[in-house]
Amino acid sequence: MTQKPALLIIDMQNDFASTHAVNPVVGAQAVITPLTHLLSLFREKRLPIFHIVRIHEPDGSDVEWFRAEKFKSTPFAVRGSHGAAVIDELTPLPGEHLIEKVRMSAFIGTTLDLMLRTLGVNTVVVGGIQTPNCVRTTVFDAMAYNYETILVGDATGAQTKEIHEANVLDMKNIGVKILNTANIAPWLDSR
């Protein structure tokens, strides 16, 4: 089967990944350089790119119950705010897709699956933050939707190296292919 990959970049937004983040994700800064490299590769090959962003209503009416109190005290990813935007280093270009989500998985309540299928994509390459939450749920759902799934290990991050590595191992054990940024160009050339 011929592979048609798409790049999914998860939650690399100002409120989580910038140096001025209101709700900073430890490890986010470390994945910016690998993600810019991946983005360049996919742009060069004119492959589909999806920037997945968490967006919430200003009143927090769409926030998960277990994050509601945190949102009340420190709102994050509020629709229309600078904090909800993709960080400058990864700003989407015309023709790249921006998918808004309100839950951890990029597939729940979004048009992602429909758009991937319409574009003929059968393989997703995933990077971003955070490995045990939004990255992991997106990866598990991609597998459930029958996409070949590649996690770029050095382009994903978590609060600690141990948390990241445990989750990467768990994903590998369900059949997710784990590559590093350096392996993506040869993989793309071999497909």
pLDDT one-digit tens code per residue, 4-40: 999 999 999 999 999 888 888 888 999 999 999 999 9
Number of helices and strands (H, E) in the chain?
7, 6
Across 61-75, average pLDDT: 93
**Tokens read off for 154:** 């050095």
Q: Which of 121, 130, 152 is nearest to 38 (CA)?
A: 152
| CATH number corresponding to 5-53+87-190 | 3.40.50.850
Per-residue pLDDT band at 137 (split at 50, 70, 90): very high
Q: What is the pLDDT of residue 20?
A: 83
For residue 1, the model assigns a pLDDT of 61
Measured CA to CA, the distance from residue 2 to residue 157 in angstroms comes to 30
79-128 tens-digit pLDDT: 999 999 999 999 999 999 999 999 999 999 999 999 999 999 999 999 99
Q: E strand or H helix at 157, and its extent?
A: strand 148-157
Return the domain boundaries, the chain. Answer: 5-53+87-190
Q: Percentage of the chain with pLDDT > 70?
A: 99
Q: What was the pLDDT predicted at 26? A: 84
Mean pLDDT for the stretch of residues 55-60:
96
For the chain, the first-to-last Cα distance in angstroms comes to: 9
Nearest CA to 156 out of 33, 23, 44, 15 is that of 33
Enclosing H/E stretch for 114? helix 112-118
Sheet with 5-10, strands from edge to edge, namely: 97-101, 49-54, 5-10, 123-129, 148-157, 177-179
Element (H, E) at 53: strand 49-54
| Band of residue 130 on the pLDDT scale cut at 50, 70, 90 | very high
